[in-house]
Amino acid sequence: DQQVKQNSPSLSVQEGRISILNCDYTNSMFDYFLWYKKYPAEGPTFLISISSIKDKNEDGRFTVFLNKSAKHLSLHIVPSQPGDSAVYFCAASTGNTGKLIFGQGTTLQVKP
Partner 1 sequence: DTEVTQTPKHLVMGMTNKKSLKCEQHMGHRAMYWYKQKAKKPPELMFVYSYEKLSINESVPSRFSPECPNSSLLNLHLHALQPEDSALYLCASSKYTGGRGQDYGYTFGSGTRLTVV
Among 96, 98, 106, 111, residue whose Cα is nearest residue 47: 106
In whole angstroms, the minimum distance from the beta carbon of 34 to partner 1 comes to 7
Among 4, 53, 58, 57, residue whose Cα is nearest residue 27: 4
In whole angstroms, the minimum distance from the beta carbon of 80 to partner 1 comes to 23
Nearer to partner 1, 11 or 101 (CB): 101
Q: Using CB under 8 A as the criterion, which residues of the chain lie in contact with partner 1 when the complex forms?
A: 32, 34, 36, 41-46, 49, 51, 89, 95-105
- C-alpha 8/C-alpha 28 separation (Å) is 22
In whole angstroms, the minimum distance from the beta carbon of 79 to partner 1 comes to 26
